[in-house]
Amino acid sequence: MALLNRISSANIGIFFLILQANKTRYMSGKITFTMIKPDAVADGHIGAILGKIAEAGFKFKALKLTQLTEADAKKFYKVHAARPFYGELVEFMSSGPIVAAVLEKDNAVEDFRTLIGATNPADAAEGTIRKMFARSVGENAVHGSDSDENALIEAQFHFSGREIF
Ligand code: CDP
Ligand code: MG
């Protein structure tokens, strides 16, 4: 009986691994991850920003209001750990609620970066989300993944499999 239990739990484990691998393959190239940052949430722009994202043809695969702890923000932005703005970035990103979302569209990563505009809103094109809603280069309203690989890592950082539809 114990042996049977071990076999069936191993099978279930393998089944879920295959499911996860298929889901990841299916999503690659079509998804990106975003956060509406604490400045834009505090400034009351959640609705307007989600509206612009939907109008641009992105589908919502996952969505929630949440808040990063300091440890979460450190981990999420660890590629920037050596940059001079890292401390401020971590403090800012954990300072208040954010909206996290997984978005689907063909060419999602690149198209979303075009929709949000340059990191510094002073350089962002007219009509982009950062141009319209960002306060500054640091408090710049939204995050957008920079590659398909990071989109998956970032989506999984914020959402469990059962929260992504
Ligand atoms: O967000 P994006 O990919 O456009 O820029 P990044 O170079 O990956 O930087 C990540 C985040 O760090 C930015 O979105 C800003 O919030 C912040 N940052 C900053 O505070 N000062 C800079 N000179 C550059 C970035
Ligand atoms: Mg980046």
Ligand whose nearest atom lies closest to the CA of 118: 1
- On the CB side of 112, CA atoms within 13 Å amount to 32
Domain presence at residue 14: no
The string of pLDDT tens digits covering residues 106-131 is 999 999 999 999 999 999 999 999 99
Is 21 part of any domain?
A: no
**Residue 99 main-chain phi, psi, to 5 deg:** -110, 125
Residue 2 counted as domain residue: no
Q: Note the pLDDT tens digit of each residue in 25-69.
A: 556 689 999 999 999 999 999 999 999 999 999 999 999 999 999
Task: With respect to residue 122, please indicate whether it lies within any of the assigned structural domains.
Answer: yes
Q: Among this protein's residues, is 80 annotated catalytic?
A: no
Ligand 1 site residues, Cβ closer than 6 angstroms? 80, 85, 89, 119, 137-138, 140, 143, 146
Rg of the chain, C-alpha, whole Å: 18
CATH number, position 40:
3.30.70.141
Helix residue spans in the chain (DSSP H): 2-27, 38-42, 46-55, 70-76, 86-93, 108-116, 129-133, 148-158
With H, G, I as helix, E, B as strand and everything else as coil, classify residue 32: strand
Instruction: Report the nearest atom of ligand 1 relative to the CA of 92.
Output: 16
Q: Whose CA is nearest to atom 17 of ligand 1?
A: 138
